[in-house]
Amino acid sequence: MAERTTREIYLGEGSGTGSGSQHLYVNVGPAHPAMHGIIRILAELDGETVVKADVEIGYLHRAFEKECEGGPYNNAIPYTDRLNYVSPLINNFGYTSCVEKLLGIDATERCQYIRVIMSEISRICDHLTCIGASAMELGAFTVFLYMIKAREYLWELVEDVTGARLTISYARVGGVKADLPEGFALKLCKAFKETRQVLEEVHKLLTGNRIFMDRLVGVGVLSREDTVAYAITGPMLRAAGVPYDVRRAQPYWAYDRVEFEVPTGRNGDNYDRYLVRMVEMEQSMRIVEQALDAIPGGPINVDFQGKPMDPATYVDLGKQGKTEGLLLIPITLSPNLEGLERPVHHRVNVSDKRVVLPPKEEAYGSIEGLMNHFMLIMEGNGIRPPRGAAYFPVEGANGELGFYVVSDGTDRPYRVRCRPPCFPPMAALHRMIEGGMVADVVPTFGSVNMIGGELDR
């Protein structure tokens, strides 16, 4: 039988002639703003009720996995920024930890604490964005402005540490790009104080608001059994009453050295997802404060011989062979390279020349350091894990984010696979919106917190 045309599908059987049905077929997205421009929901409506929904993805295929296989291991880090671009630090650290597992190396204690601190700051930013955007789509524009204000305080912290706000590329295999800057703890305390005030204001505006509760309570329900069956993790799973959190179930980095609670809901509806994310932000701030108190190493002050020297003069002396005492002189690095000086370099990176670029003093001031740097950058050399495969899961803002990397012994990965936390909830989205009102499609979709970059890899 010939394929039916779109007009026949929409206006043929069940359109009001013969069967008496008055169902209407409506496309929600991909052009709809709430669909991020990349999700299409073909909804069958009976009046205002969604009878059936077909969710289509695939409008933003970025070839992330294939791109990672085309270059050296560290070259994939900027690609990971673009997965969940609202909390890119977690993506960075998850990928580099997987490569480190493949190499059989562990990050330094200080580096592990830095990864915990920056990951939790990213998680808060992600939840602020999710709740703020979802509230705005329900008409609570004030909440959106408050949440973005709080996110701005935290993004300033991220910028101080990484040099960027969104696409940060901060992690490195074996460590991080640079140490925490001077005065970071003081600025973080101030930012958290402001963030807690914003969360208190949002609780007053939303949590007990009758209109907000009417729009969310009992809407978008996914049962505990269905949530588990769809392999959904993160806030959606915890909202259904399952206290699974990768940080607690399979502790990594320094998560086994900090205390925190795993909030859970009971009903698995949009309102429980909102409450879980609100509590998780409080717990994330609690984790960061504990990690900052316990971080080893602390500020490092070393007395050097001579005054700081600019890199150009330093390099010139090295070229002339005047290297005596050169490694004892500090370099006045530009802001994008601060934190890579010798005194702090070994605190945040493993002492493994196969993996980590040498401190700038050594690269600029000694032939050994220069050759080490050159070999790690030159094509065909670089980081070369032994043959094998590794999987490393982390708790992303939306659930379990896992990286699977296969090595064939060369300087570039044979296979990179990402397990995105957004994908399973999108498979279950039709279950959440069928039987509900068409007006509830957007808030339910917002509670999933779909991020296109990690969904369509």
Domain check: are 144 and 260 in the same one?
Answer: yes
Domain check: are 203 and 169 in the same one?
Answer: yes
Domain boundary among 322, 350, 377: 377
Altogether, the residues listed in the chain come to a count of 457
Q: Tell me the three-class secondary structure of the chain, residue by residue.
A: CCCCCHHHHHHCCCCCCCCCCCCEEEEECCCCHHHCCCCEEEEEEECCEEEEEEEECCCCCCCHHHHHCCCCHHHHHHHHHCCCCCCHHHHHHHHHHHHHHHHCCCCCHHHHHHHHHHHHHHHHHHHHHHHHHHHHHCCCHHHHHHHHHHHHHHHHHHHHHHCCCCCCCCEECCEECCCCCCCHHHHHHHHHHHHHHHHHHHHHHHHCCHHHHHHHCCCCCCCHHHHHHCCCCCHHHHHCCCCCCHHHHCCCCCHHHCCCCCCCCCCCCHHHHHHHHHHHHHHHHHHHHHHHHHCCCCCCCCCCCCCCECHHHHHHHHHCCCCCCHHHCCECCCHHHCCCCHHHHHHHECCCCCCCCCCHHHHHHCHHHHHHHHHHHCCCCCCCCCCEEEEEEEEECCEEEEEEEEECCCCCCCEEEEECCCHHHHHHHHHHHCCCEHHHHHHHHHHHCCCHHHHCC
Which residues of the chain are modeled with pLDDT < 50?
Answer: 1-18, 298-306
pLDDT for the residue 300: 26
| d(C-alpha 285, C-alpha 193), whole Å | 10
What is the domain count for the chain? Answer: 3
For residue 106, tell me if it sits in a domain.
yes
For residue 240, tell me if it sits in a domain.
yes
For residue 302, tell me if it sits in a domain.
no
Burial class (CB in 10 A: 0-12, 13-18, 19+), 434: middle
For residue 69, tell me if it sits in a domain.
yes
pLDDT for the residue 339: 67
Structural domain containing residue 25: 6-56
Return the axis-axis angle of helices 141-162 and 109-137, rounded to nearest 10°: 160
Domain check: are 215 and 111 in the same one?
Answer: yes
Domain check: are 75 and 210 in the same one?
Answer: yes
pLDDT for the residue 231: 93
Domain check: are 222 and 350 in the same one?
Answer: no
pLDDT for the residue 303: 31
Domain check: are 283 and 424 in the same one?
Answer: yes
Alpha carbons within 13 angstroms on the beta-carbon side of residue 376 total 20
Domain check: are 260 and 337 in the same one?
Answer: no
Domain boundary among 377, 394, 416: 377
For residue 401, tell me if it sits in a domain.
yes
pLDDT for the residue 306: 44
Domain check: are 35 and 92 in the same one?
Answer: no
User: Which CATH number does the domain housing residue 202 bear?
Assistant: 1.10.645.10
pLDDT for the residue 95: 94
Domain check: are 44 and 104 in the same one?
Answer: no
Q: What is the pTM of this model?
A: 0.84
For residue 306, tell me if it sits in a domain.
no
pLDDT for the residue 217: 92
- Is the Cβ–Cβ distance between 448 and 425 less than 8 Å? yes
Domain check: are 439 and 329 in the same one?
Answer: no
pLDDT digits (tens, 9 = 90+) for 254-286: 999 999 999 999 999 999 999 999 999 999 999
For residue 1, tell me if it sits in a domain.
no
pLDDT for the residue 326: 65
pLDDT digits (tens, 9 = 90+) for 89-107: 999 999 999 999 998 888 8
| d(C-alpha 441, C-alpha 344), whole Å | 50
| d(C-alpha 197, C-alpha 209), whole Å | 18
Domain check: are 15 and 161 in the same one?
Answer: no
Domain check: are 349 and 274 in the same one?
Answer: no
For residue 79, tell me if it sits in a domain.
yes
φ, ψ dihedrals at 422, nearest 5°: -75, -25
